[in-house]
Amino acid sequence: MLKTAICDLFEIKHPIIQGGMAHVGTAELVSAVSNAGGLGIIGSGFYEPDWVRQQIHLTRQQTSKPFGINIQLASPFAKQVIEVALEEQVAIISTGAGNPEPYIPRFKQAGMKVMPVVNSVTLAKQLERAGADAIVAEGTESGGHVGETTTMVLVPQVVDSVRIPVIAAGGIGDGRGLAAALALGAKGIQMGTRFVCSTESIAHPRYKQKILEAHNSSTVVTRQILGFPQRSLQNKLTDQFQELEKAGLSKEELELFDRGRMYLGLIEGDIEDGSLLAGQIAGLIREIKPVKVIIEEIVAEAETIITSLKNFYRED
Ligand SMILES: Cc1cc2nc3c(=O)[nH]c(=O)nc-3n(C[C@H](O)[C@H](O)[C@H](O)COP(=O)(O)O)c2cc1C
């Protein structure tokens, strides 16, 4: 069976991580992924500390397996959520949208494993020096906040630059993606968009359906001006956002326009005026399936591919 350093580090069966996702990374999805042998991660997003604590408790009621929590460093509640994670002794910390360096010593003192998400080689090296246990190298194909480098280009460069295990994220949705990530030197994968379209995810059915209908160029990146470029499915909101950016609205005005849009799209299912975060891999996703099936199919497909690659060798 496919086993990597990530399986040992996080004490999980399969080298598959469900990326912490704002609004969607709730106890339902997290516990399903961890129960299926992957690593589920609670997405704390911009939620208040009490909500995060409740999600930790709910997850513990539904699984005895390891799980993690994603700290959105841009959240106004980030510092308080960090305190909750420390008090609750969540075993694994993932961080997004920023540099977690100042917080790493406290996580390490508390015996937690730290796995920051990065989109540059420089930040990966800096966080290894700061004590990170693993690095998620996330390419621009990803859903959510993105950098500029593709997964194919970023992952091997991060692998060559650090000694700790690297996890590939962005544009992975099946066993071919897992096999490719391992070939690039990663020790596992992190997926977001694929898990949005799982039976257990609380994402609104209309949002899931939009992902199922997507093709390879259905996503766009907006919000560069706010300092957090974000990839989502193109809709009325992204068109309006691009027009307002061109019209030169101030950062404050755009922030106001953007407020609440993610919840509106992901949870309330407003597919035109809400934000529908998704990666380019949406074009590959055709079915909503239970988490366990998604994970087992990906592992089986990757194992078959890895074994069959030797067929490319010829005697002559
Ligand atoms: C709906 C959604 C919400 C997300 N929210 C967060 C977040 O709060 N913090 C974070 O670090 N990453 C977030 N991400 C990124 C995912 O954790 C993951 O790294 C990414 O989706 C991987 O790329 P993929 O979508 O191509 O699988 C989000 C992604 C999606 C699709």
> What is the band of 227 on the pLDDT scale with cuts at 50, 70, 90?
confident
pLDDT value at residue 131: 96
> What is the band of 238 on the pLDDT scale with cuts at 50, 70, 90?
very high
Q: Which atom of ligand 1 is nearest to the CA of 169?
A: 22
Which residue is closest in CA terms to ligand 1's atom 13?
21
Q: Which atom of ligand 1 is nearest to the CA of 173?
A: 27
Quick check: CB of 146 below 6 Å from ligand 1? no
3-state SS string for 196-238 = HCECCCCCCHHHHHHHHCCCCCCEEEECHHHCCCEEEECCHHH
Q: Which residues pair with 39 in a beta bridge?
A: 17
CB 200 within 8 A of CB 29: yes
Which residue is closest in CA terms to ligand 1's atom 5?
21
**Res 4 pLDDT > 80:** yes
**Res 74 pLDDT > 80:** yes
Quick check: CB of 283 below 6 Å from ligand 1? no
Compute the distance between CA of residue 191 and CA of residue 19 in angstroms, rounded to an integer.
6
- Structure tokens that stand for 281 in this block: 């891999």
Question: What confidence tens digit (pLDDT) does each residue in 82-124 have?
Answer: 999 999 999 999 999 889 999 999 999 999 999 999 999 999 9
Compute the distance between CA of residue 89 and CA of residue 229 in angstroms, rounded to an integer.
32
**Res 224 pLDDT > 90:** no
pLDDT value at residue 267: 98
Give the residue among 170, 175, 136, 199 at the shortest CA–CA distance from 280: 170
How far, in Å, from the CA of 253 to the mean position of ligand 1? 25
pLDDT value at residue 233: 98
Quick check: CB of 38 below 6 Å from ligand 1? no
> What is the band of 46 on the pLDDT scale with cuts at 50, 70, 90?
very high
Quick check: CB of 298 below 6 Å from ligand 1? no
> What is the band of 225 on the pLDDT scale with cuts at 50, 70, 90?
confident
Which residue is closest in CA terms to ligand 1's atom 2?
21
Tell me which of 141-155, 206-220, 236-250 is least confident: 236-250
What pTM was estimated for this model as a whole?
Answer: 0.97
pLDDT value at residue 66: 98
Tell me which of 22-26, 171-175, 251-255 is least confident: 251-255
pLDDT value at residue 249: 86
77: burial class by Cβ within 10 Å (0-12, 13-18, 19+)? Answer: buried
Stretch 126-143: mean pLDDT: 97
pLDDT value at residue 196: 98
pLDDT value at residue 153: 98
Buried-exposed string 97-128: b where 16+ CB fall within 10 A, e elsewhere: bbebbebbeebbeeebbbbbbbbebebbeebb
Average pLDDT taken over every residue of the chain: 96
Stretch 24-36: mean pLDDT: 98
pLDDT value at residue 231: 97
Quick check: CB of 192 below 6 Å from ligand 1? yes
Question: What confidence tens digit (pLDDT) does each residue in 256-304 have?
Answer: 999 999 999 999 999 999 999 999 999 999 999 999 999 999 999 999 9
Mutate to test the pocket of ligand 1, among 136, 142, 176 (most ligand atoms within 8 A of CB): 142
**Res 136 pLDDT > 80:** yes
Mutate to test the pocket of ligand 1, among 16, 17, 18, 21 (most ligand atoms within 8 A of CB): 21
Q: Which atom of ligand 1 is nearest to the CA of 138?
A: 19
